Amino acid sequence: MLSTGNRTILRICCKKTLLQPQTLVVTIKFTQTGLESRPATHYVGKPLLVRQVLDSTNRFALDWIAAKTRPDGEDAAPTEGTAIMALEQPAGRGQYGTSWATEPGAGLALSVIFYPGFLPAREAFRLNVALSLGVWDALRGLIAHSNCAEDWSVKWPNDLYAGSRKVAGLLLENGIANNHLTHSVLGIGLNVNQMQFPAELPNPVSLRQLDGQERDLQEVAFRLCEALEPRYEQLRQGAWLALKRQYLQALWGYGEKRFFQRNTPAGPEVFEGVIAGVEDSGELAVDCQGVLKRFRFKEVIQLVEQP
């Protein structure tokens, strides 16, 4: 990026890599004069690596961390805040084996690398809370309330909802050593410009469907980076109780009677309960007719509609 007077010129470097020779690596670097607008952060999203096609931005990030070699071949591990964006992701991964594919130019696939060595492994869910709130903040900023009648919420454990429809999914993958987190990669799959979805998806929605606006995917990525950084710093500075309180305020169905489904030896069972909170371990606490039950990820499914 070059600066001339009050103007800032973006310089984009394109290189083919040995890892995927058919795609381009676009590295966007920011000078001091460009920090305020692209993006306005200290380190998250700097640098932002943009690729035309990646099977999985999270897998790319994890491979980079393991190899400690930049995609251009130089020996350099990714710095904290490094972000990887794919314009098309045909085989993205969701939480616990689910998939998340992105349509070219319509959906955003973004992964951000963090090094939360300050967190013991037993507190890993705290990172999930902080980063989920960051995405929640970004979505609320992208669409003004006056332009969207839906309420934004975080649906346990890893989805972002507009009303009763899913707009984004998160995947957080951690490395652990000596009972502490060594690295974490946050993957975000966000529906941005789609106007239609495959019939097998039960309740998706895009930002464009909500307010009619088509958005530049890179600009959306910048806004996400700007919202993630303060939430991550809030966690680093020890403000866990404030984060948890805000997470419960944003939690889909909190304090409300909802329907759930769990697997039993006799087959799927639907039951009714009230979401009472989320434990520090990440378990969902549900009040079932006066009996408090706790469920780990994938032990229970929250049903959006009454069966």
- Which residues have C-beta within 8 Å of that of residue 177, sequence separation ≥ 6? none
pLDDT at 89: 83
Per-residue pLDDT band for 3 (boundaries 50, 70, 90) equals: very low
Instruction: Among 209, 234, 250, give the residue marking a domain's end.
Output: 250
Q: Are residues 269 and 220 in the same domain?
A: no
Closest listed residue to residue 221, CA positions, set 249, 192, 196: 192
**CA 6/CA 75 separation, integer angstroms:** 35
Q: Provide the pLDDT for residue 201.
A: 87
The reported pLDDT for the residue numbered 26 is 40
Q: Closest Cα partner for 133 from 91, 172, 98, 164?
A: 172
The radius of gyration computed from the CA coordinates of the chain, to the nearest angstrom, equals: 20
Query: How far apart, in whole angstroms, are the C-alpha atoms of residue 11 and residue 2?
Result: 7
What is the pLDDT at residue 143?
Answer: 87
Q: CB of 60 within 8 A of CB of 69?
A: no
Query: Are 213 and 286 in the same domain?
Result: no
63-77, 238-252, 263-277, 287-301: range with lowest mean pLDDT: 63-77
Confidence band for 105, pLDDT divided at 50, 70 and 90: confident
At residue 199, the pLDDT reads 87
Mean pLDDT in residue range 34-62: 85
Q: What is the mean pLDDT of residues 126-146?
A: 91
- Residues 212, 63 share a domain: yes
Residue 19's pLDDT is 39
| Average pLDDT score over residue span 85-107 | 68
Full-model pTM: 0.85
Q: What SS3 state is found at 169?
A: strand
Query: How does DSSP assign 96-133, residue by residue?
Result: GG-EEEE-TTTEEEEEEEE--TTSBGGGHHHHHHHHHH
Burial of 35-51, coded b for 16+ CB within 10 Å and e otherwise, reads eeebbebeebbbbbbbb
pLDDT single digits (tens) 219-260: 999 999 999 999 999 999 999 999 999 999 999 999 999 999
Query: Higher model confidence: residue 227 or residue 143?
Result: 227
Q: What is d(CA 106, CA 5) in angstroms, rounded to the nearest whole number? A: 35
Cα 281 to the center of its chain, rounded Å: 19
180: domain range? Answer: 2-250
Q: Residue 267 is part of a domain; what is its CATH number?
A: 2.30.30
CATH number (domain holding residue 37): 3.30.930.10
Instruction: Summarize the confidence of residues 66-89 as an average pLDDT.
Output: 88
Do 201 and 119 belong together in one domain? yes
Instruction: State yes or no: pLDDT of 102 exceeds 70.
Output: no
Domain match, 144 and 284 both = no
Same domain, 196 and 290: no
Q: Are residues 284 and 144 in the same domain?
A: no
Local structure of residue 17 (DSSP, 8 states): -
Greater model confidence, 247 or 263: 247
Do 98 and 241 have their domain in common? yes
Q: Are residues 243 and 262 located together in one domain of the fold?
A: no
Mean pLDDT of 179-188: 98
CA distance 188 to 168: 7
At residue 11 the predicted structure's pLDDT band, cuts being 50, 70 and 90, is very low
**Entry field: residues in the chain:** 307
Instruction: Assign 21 a pLDDT band (cuts: 50, 70, 90).
Output: very low
Q: Are residues 291 and 195 in the same domain?
A: no
Q: Does 148 share its domain with 263?
A: no
* pLDDT score of 275 more than 70: yes
| Average confidence score pLDDT of the chain | 85
Domain total of the chain: 2
> 132 Cβ partners below 8 Å, 6+ apart?
154, 158, 160, 170, 247, 250
Nearest to 127 by CA among 108, 113, 141, 110: 113
pLDDT band per the 50, 70, 90 thresholds, residue 36: very low
The answer, yes or no, to whether residue 287 has pLDDT greater than 80, is: yes
What share of the chain in percent tops pLDDT 70?
Answer: 81
Whether 78 contacts 65, CB under 8 Å: yes
* Whole-number pLDDT of residue 30: 36
